[in-house]
């Protein structure tokens, strides 16, 4: 986990922002925040927790992080729930729901109940709320994914849990639902000082490219993502193959798995088949902790793609914008919060749209640079970790001071 000093953020966000965090955090003193999610590595939730939990501690807030246990059967079901939340047409048997409940009950029995505020991330551990009737405490459910279009079956199943929480947090206004509990909107964030986002010396970028046999002299187009159908990596290859007929460039598709995502291997196989033996398509399976590599790949790119078909927030977009990169991304989930079309990046809806704008940006570096610069400014003001911590502290305080709906 990150060992940075919170005061190191002052030159980026301003001293007053950091001072305010200390003042607000002081009001939470004595309270323990117990975060719970389903994977320690891989994906955006683990990425945020790994950087945020140590910073909370530096602010004097006792934040901790637990990961639930589950076997492959459980994570196949939870991935199916994830897909159903994104509107994918799947149905669940009673046996699947019963197994989900059973694994949550086992985790509830095993997990120490030390938190004054139990902060549950996403749907995998949502059933831990059953403990509330025995232990009380404040319970918050944090939804990190697009909740706009869930299947009716999964919405009904989860609603039964969600409405037992004290509060629910969504990443974007469009994701919120009609619920009987207070809801708040808190966008995710990136850590500008992490290995994934901090400035890198040119030599590091060059040596990462060399280690992957990528030519630093030719333009590079990159998508960093878990190998997931909803990130549309095969669509990225199709777009790239069309663009390559007009502009010389290389494609990097880099990603790893997450321990709670069992579909990855199949998607990777499809990607490798689609890439065939094109030497300019670099499909990189990255081990956990490849933060410097990801940072270098993003920085070395002429254009970063995030051609998602569905998305929660899309941290990879913020990561690339922070590096002043022009980003072409699917207009889904939290991506339009980050990109204003033709101002701080490009929003697309199709492979052909991606092709059109990719050709344009590769051929017009000045325009690409303007988009990237505007994107960095937008991320600086809205999606850095200090803003995120402030929003969470206010939310936690509101649990003690108000029963009303809170708008942050």
State how far the Cα of 212 lies from the Cα of 284, in Å rounded to an integer: 8
Closest residue to bound ligand UDP by CB: 44
The residue ranges of DSSP E strands in 42-188, in sequence order, are 62-67, 117-121, 138-142, 167-170, 183-185
State how far the Cα of 32 lies from the Cα of 245, in Å rounded to an integer: 57
3-class DSSP assignment, residue 63:
strand
User: At closest approach, how far in Å is the CB of 309 from ligand UDP?
Assistant: 12
User: At closest approach, how far in Å is the CB of 73 from ligand UDP?
Assistant: 22
Q: Which of 264, 314, 372, 375 binds ligand UDP (CB under 6 A)?
A: 314
Q: Which residues contact 356 (CB under 8 A, 6 or more apart)?
A: none
User: At closest approach, how far in Å is the CB of 197 from ligand UDP?
Assistant: 9
Q: Which residues contact 376 (CB under 8 A, 6 or more apart)?
A: 321, 322, 323, 324
State how far the Cα of 175 lies from the Cα of 335, in Å rounded to an integer: 12
Q: Which residue's CB is nearer to ligand UDP, number 61 or number 346?
A: 346
Residue of 153, 155, 146, 156 whose CA lies nearest to 176:
146
Q: Which residue's CB is nearer to ligand UDP, number 44 or number 70?
A: 44
Q: Which residue's CB is nearer to ligand UDP, number 165 or number 313?
A: 313
Sheet holding 220-224, edge to edge: 281-285, 250-255, 220-224, 303-306, 327-330, 346-348
| 209-248 binders of ligand UDP (CB under 6 A) | 224-226
Q: Which residues contact 134 (CB under 8 A, 6 or more apart)?
A: none
User: At closest approach, how far in Å is the CB of 367 from ligand UDP?
Assistant: 25
Q: Is there binding between residue 316 and ligand UDP (CB under 6 A)?
A: yes
Q: Which residue's CB is nearer to ligand UDP, number 149 or number 360?
A: 149
Please identify, among the stretches 11-19, 112-120, 313-321, 323-331, the one whose residues bind ligand UDP according to the rule CB under 6 A: 313-321
**Contact call for residues 166 and 120 (beta carbons, < 8 A):** no
Q: Which residue's CB is nearer to ligand UDP, number 312 or number 336?
A: 312
3-class DSSP assignment, residue 251:
strand
Q: Is there binding between residue 372 and ligand UDP (CB under 6 A)?
A: no
Q: Which of 312, 336, 372, 375 binds ligand UDP (CB under 6 A)?
A: 312
Structure tokens at 289: 């902790």
Per-residue contact track with ligand UDP, 251 to 290, x per CB under 6 A? ----xx-----------------------------x---x
Q: Which residue's CB is nearer to ligand UDP, number 99 or number 175?
A: 175
Structure tokens at 135: 């232990």
Per-residue contact track with ligand UDP, 25 to 64, x per CB under 6 A? ------------------xx--x-----------------
Residues in contact with ligand UDP by the rule CB under 6 A: 43-44, 47, 196, 224-226, 255-256, 286, 290, 294, 312-316, 319
């Amino acid at each position: 986990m990150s060992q940075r000093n919170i005061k190191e953020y002052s030159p980026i966000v301003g001293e007053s922002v950091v001072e305010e965090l200390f003042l607000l955090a002081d009001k939470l003193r004595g309270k323990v925040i117990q975060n719970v999610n389903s994977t320690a590595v891989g994906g955006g939730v683990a990425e945020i927790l790994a950087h945020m939990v140590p910073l909370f501690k530096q602010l004097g807030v006792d934040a901790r992080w637990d990961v639930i246990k589950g076997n492959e059967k459980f994570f196949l079901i939870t991935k199916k729930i994830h897909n159903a939340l994104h509107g994918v047409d799947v149905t669940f048997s009673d046996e699947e729901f019963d197994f989900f409940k059973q694994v949550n009950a086992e985790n509830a029995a095993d997990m120490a109940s030390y938190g004054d505020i139990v902060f549950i991330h996403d749907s995998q551990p949502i059933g831990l709320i059953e403990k509330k009737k025995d232990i009380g405490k404040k319970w918050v459910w944090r939804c990190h994914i697009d909740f706009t279009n869930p299947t009716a079956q999964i919405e009904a199943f989860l609603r039964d849990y969600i409405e037992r929480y004290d509060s629910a947090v969504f990443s974007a206004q469009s994701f919120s639902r009609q619920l009987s509990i207070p809801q708040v909107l808190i966008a995710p964030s990136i850590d500008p000082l992490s290995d994934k986002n901090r400035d890198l010396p040119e030599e590091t970028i060059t040596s990462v490219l060399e280690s992957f046999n990528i030519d630093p002299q030719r333009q590079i187009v990159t998508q960093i993502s878990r190998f997931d159908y909803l990130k549309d990596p095969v669509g990225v290859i199709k777009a790239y193959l069309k663009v390559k007929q007009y502009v010389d460039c290389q494609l990097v598709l880099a990603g790893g798995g997450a321990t709670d995502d069992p579909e990855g291997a199949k998607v990777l196989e499809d990607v490798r088949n689609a890439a065939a033996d094109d030497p300019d398509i670099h499909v990189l399976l990255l081990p956990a902790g490849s933060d410097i590599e990801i940072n270098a790949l993003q920085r070395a790119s002429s254009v970063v793609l995030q051609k998602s078909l569905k998305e929660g927030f899309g941290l990879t977009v913020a990561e690339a914008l922070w590096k002043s990169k022009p980003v072409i991304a699917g207009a889904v989930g939290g991506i339009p919060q980050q990109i204003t079309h033709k101002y701080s990046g490009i929003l697309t809806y199709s492979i052909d749209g991606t092709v059109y704008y990719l050709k344009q940006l590769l051929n017009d570096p000045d325009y690409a640079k303007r988009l990237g610069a505007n994107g960095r400014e937008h991320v600086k003001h809205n999606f850095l970790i200090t803003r995120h911590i402030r929003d969470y502290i206010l939310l936690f305080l509101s649990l003690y001071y108000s029963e009303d709906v809170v708008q942050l």
